[in-house]
Chain A
């Protein structure tokens, strides 16, 4: 097992763990954290698989660079929506979760 494949497998574990946390939590902030960690796991899988038994590949690295910026923009927007929701309703969960 090369080091790149190891990090790809670490990425797999991160995706699975954060997916489980996303399903289990109802607090929107925790779901946002889980979503971010899932994205990072996907990036690790992308670069790890592409560079497994090959030379360092700039194309998936550039894609991950783009992905990091898009992730921070989405996280910032999600936080603004979360804070407006909290200011409007005083809750940090979505209404349909209360029936669970």
Chain B
């Protein structure tokens, strides 16, 4: 690494720190406080926890686009899979590289399977009134899938099976369907009626959890095989 590169990097880094630090320290406080308006709107949102209300009622457009980004990432990852490698349709090909073959991991994964599913369901349900929600539950499910895969059992590849495609797609499809269904009733996009909002939010979060878990697992499982494993 040559000195000129290091010097310019350090200089740019220090300059950025000074500028950003100055901006952070001299910021002007905005005259409004959104948190106060949010607290007034929480009772009408169908859930009690403010973050879940923000994610799925007040800023649900951001969450919809986030699920779309996740889906696009999974689709691109599946498109980049190696056609001759472990992701071909041959059922005998196993992920040889990421497997840790100890009996402890295998039996521990079996024991953790029901516990992690229960944790994910609890996090999903508890997100309505305390910290939790769809993303945390989906992450626990994805972690379970990764453990399952690393201990040697096969989940995926996610490119061949039609049901896996449905599972990947279902989260975004359900959310989009719910979002646009409000248009049918003359309301703006994503503006759920307050009387049904709690039910809709729980239903969408459930589908989201499964979809997020499978998408994150699909992103982990679509990694290409190492070079020296090929012919």
Contacts and interface: CB of A to CB of B under 8 A. Distances in A.
Complex A–B touching at CB under 8 A: yes
Contacts of A77: 73, 76-77, 219
B12 interface: yes
Given A16-B14, A19-B13, A65-B55, A24 B1 contact: yes
Interface string B6-49: 10111011101100110011010100011100100000000000
A22 to B, nearest CB: 8
B158 interface: no
A20 B10 contact: yes
Given A19-B12, A100-B2, A49 B24 contact: yes
Interface size range of chain A in the complex: 35 or more
Nearest to B59: A62
A28 interface: no
Interface string B138-166: 00000000000000000000000000000
A74 B2 contact: no
Given A21-B9, A80-B219, 14 more contacts: A9-B25, A19-B12, A19-B16, A24-B6, A49-B27, A59-B54, A62-B62, A68-B135, A70-B70, A74-B73, A76-B219, A80-B222, A87-B224, A100-B5
Top-7 shortest CB links A-B: A20-B13, A16-B17, A76-B219, A24-B9, A58-B50, A73-B73, A23-B9
26 contacts: A9-B24, A12-B24, A15-B20, A16-B16, A19-B13, A20-B10, A23-B12, A23-B13, A24-B1, A24-B6, A54-B35, A57-B34, A58-B38, A65-B55, A66-B62, A70-B66, A72-B216, A73-B70, A73-B73, A76-B220, A77-B73, A77-B219, A80-B77, A80-B219, A87-B226, A87-B227
Interface of B: 1-2, 5-6, 8-10, 12-14, 16-17, 20-21, 24-25, 27, 29, 33-35, 38, 50-51, 53-55, 58-59, 62-63, 66, 69-70, 73-74, 76-77, 80, 82, 135, 212, 215-216, 219-220, 222-227
